[in-house]
Amino acid sequence: MTLLRIEGVWKNYRHQSVLRGIDLDVAPHEVVCLIGASGSGKSTLLRCVNLLETIDDGAIHLDGDEITDVRADVDEVRKRIGMVFQSYNLFPHMTVLDNITLAPRKVHKVDRARAEEQAGELLARFGLADKAGEYPDRLSGGQQQRVAVIRAIATQPRLLLLDEVTSALDPILVTEVLSIIRELKDTGMTMILATHEMNFARDISDTVCFLDGGVLLERGSPEQIFSSPEHPRTREFLQRVLDAGRL
């Protein structure tokens, strides 16, 4: 059974192919980590899945529907997919509560009282109950990113995309964001994460994919990829990460 099927996806920017025939299946409740050097195409792949970019060949299916069909309703597709960005991208003119309830209220037509109640429950669950009325600029980076995660899951998406959600954070704040992601895995959320946190990737993923120059070079269980990578490029990459002290 597959929730998301990526088939031979190509993405070109001007003279450069950034994704070169990516194939990837994601099962319900599966957590997939995308690893690879900066510029290897991790963000682009996530943005293609969320239709923030249009692909140049191939197809992407969600729950059996082709979402890359040119006639597909992009807003309808995005209702079913949540995304969290490296730079949080909270709405600075809205309180934490309004950031979280905006999509439930305006897109999913939940009434305000119900939306706020659900947001309150999520905030409490992730230790942010006292921040509901704050504006984003009054929060630490870690808190902002946790709010961004809550905002993305408040609409109960089928799939959550996380793009290097801890890269902009001080090391000390990384843990609080990673723990919320771990908790989401326990609730059965299907996730694709682009990450540089190799320990975390090893710990949380069901499948690790190594991207190199827009090609999905190697995939497998975390043990397989981190302990006995087959491809020399994967070994090279992991060695560099190891040298940099990040594994």
Partner 1 sequence: MTDEVTDEVTRPARSARQLERERIRRRQAVRSSSIATASTIVFLTLVAVLVTNSPGWPRVRETFFDPEWFVRSLPDVLQGFWTNVKIFLIAEPIILVVGLLVALARGLRAPVFFPLRVLAVVYTDVFRGVPTLLVIMLVGFGLPALQLTGVPSDEITLGVIALVLAYSAYVAEVFRAGIDTVHPSQIAAARSLGLSHGQAMRHVVLPQAVRRVIPPLLNDFVSLQKDTALVSTIGVIEALRQAQIYAASKFNYTPYLVAAMLFILLTIPMARFTDYLSARAARRRGPGGA
Q: Is 43 in the site for Mg ion (CB under 5 A)?
A: yes
Cβ(49)–Cβ(95) below 8 Å:
no
Q: Which amino acid is it at 99?
A: N
In the region spanning residues 134 to 173, those forming contacts with partner 1, defined by CB under 8 A, are 151-152, 155
Residue 131 is given by DSSP the state G
CB of 183 to partner 1, least distance (A): 21
Rg of the chain, C-alpha, whole Å: 18
Span from 12-20, 69-77, 109-117, 127-135 in contact with partner 1 (CB under 8 A):
69-77
Task: Quote the CA–CA distance of 6 and 109 in Å, as a whole number.
Answer: 30
Nearest distance, CB of residue 46 and ligand ADP, angstroms: 8
Closest to partner 1 by CB, 75 or 186: 75
Q: Using CB under 8 A, which of the segments 24-32, 70-78, 122-130, 173-181 binds partner 1?
A: 70-78
- Which of 3, 6, 9, 18 binds ligand ADP (CB under 6 A)? It is 18
Q: Does 145 bind Mg ion (CB under 5 A)?
A: no
Label the pairing between strands 16-26 and 207-212.
unpaired
* 204 CB-near residues (< 8 Å, 6+ apart): 31, 33, 181, 182, 185, 193
Tell me the C-alpha distance between 62 and 2, whole Å: 8
Q: Which of residues 93-132 bind partner 1 (CB under 8 A)?
A: 93, 102-103, 106-108
CB 216, min distance to ligand ADP, A: 12
Q: Which CB sits closer to ligand ADP, 40 or 68?
A: 40
Binding residues for ligand ADP, total number by CB under 6 A: 11
3-class state of residue 66 by DSSP: strand
In the region spanning residues 161 to 200, those forming contacts with ligand ADP, defined by CB under 6 A, are: 194
| Smallest distance from Mg ion to CB 194, Å | 6
Q: How far is CA 117 from CA 121, 194, 227, in A?
A: 6, 31, 45
Q: Does 43 bind ligand ADP (CB under 6 A)?
A: yes
CA angle 56, 60, 63 (to 5 degrees): 165
Intra-chain end-to-end CA distance of the chain, in Å:
33
Pairing of strands 57-62, 4-13: antiparallel
- For the beta carbon of residue 80, count every other beta carbon within 10 angstroms: 16
Residue 236: CB minimum distance to ligand ADP, A: 16
Q: Give which of ligand ADP, Mg ion, partner 1, none residue 85 binds (C-beta under 5 to 8 Å, depending on kind).
A: partner 1
Enumerate binding residues for ligand ADP (CB under 6 A). 13, 18, 36, 38-44, 194
Enumerate binding residues for partner 1 (CB under 8 A). 50, 52, 74-76, 78-79, 81-83, 85, 87, 89-93, 102-103, 106-108, 151-152, 155
